[in-house]
Amino acid sequence: MTTELKGKVGLVTGGTSGIGRDAAILFAKAGAKVVVAGRREVEGKETVELIRGAGGEGLFVKADVSRATDVEAMVGKTVEKFGRLDVAFNNAGVEGSWIPITEQSEAEWDRTIDINLKGVWLCLKHEIRQMLKQGGGGAIVNMASVAGWIGSAGAATYCASKHGVIGLTKAAALETAKNGIRINAVCPAVIETPMGERIFGAPEMKKYAIGLHPIGRFGKPMEVAEAVVWMCSEKASFMTGQSLVLDGGFLAGPNSPG
């Protein structure tokens, strides 16, 4: 156990697997009480059990971040259970359909934008409201992506959603800086998660994608979780409105797609 978040109450959306699950466990190990939110109840409760196994205290709240009523209730249940909200990781997201714009349906666009971008906006809205109600202070990290920095053929909707998260993060940070609330984004390249497996699981695709990472491998969920905990802690007290790239060199070289 560490003490970076001792006495804090944290909220992690999309905490049912991958980066969200590892972040929720690490929040607990850093001393926070953790609310895990997601759409999948079984997996969410598994994450809470892992939090308890790590010596922490957790609660699962079933929530779809694209629904305003769910997000409001999620923050409400956090406060009802633990009394306040200090740090949040707005991690919930989907990859959508990676096909050309001309083949995308309006329904596919709406689903990806509703979860990845509108969902972050709704979370920010209700998290910030609660932090202001408490008198200010707090830290929020939004899940963006290297796809928030570049374009990628076939992934236009996903790229649009993640570019949007970066812009939203900057604006929200400016609105809340004087209230002591810090808001940043994390931008991973390909991470070994169920989502990464769905997109890049085929052998040829995996080989191609690893080739875009000069470090020679995909990232691990815990590598992103470590950064998120640091961004939520007082160690990052002078950081707001920023996007932290964790990409194994993906954006540094000439071979990045776009």
Which one is catalytic: 27, 82, 149, 158?
Answer: 158
Read off the tokens for 8: 């804090």
CB atoms within 10 A of CB 31: 18
Among 96, 88, 87, 146, which Cα is nearest to 116's?
A: 96
Alpha helices in 139-252 (DSSP H): 156-176, 194-200, 203-211, 221-232
Q: Is 158 a catalytic residue?
A: yes
**Interhelix angle 41-53/18-29, nearest 10 degrees:** 30
Which segments within the chain are labelled E, that is strand? 9-13, 33-38, 58-62, 87-90, 138-143, 181-188, 243-246
CA dist 194 and 97 (Å) reads: 15
- Looking at residue 150, the DSSP 8-state letter turns out to be S
Q: Which residues pair with residue 156 across a beta bridge?
A: none
CA dist 29 and 38 (Å) reads: 20
- Any idea which residues carry the catalytic annotation? 158
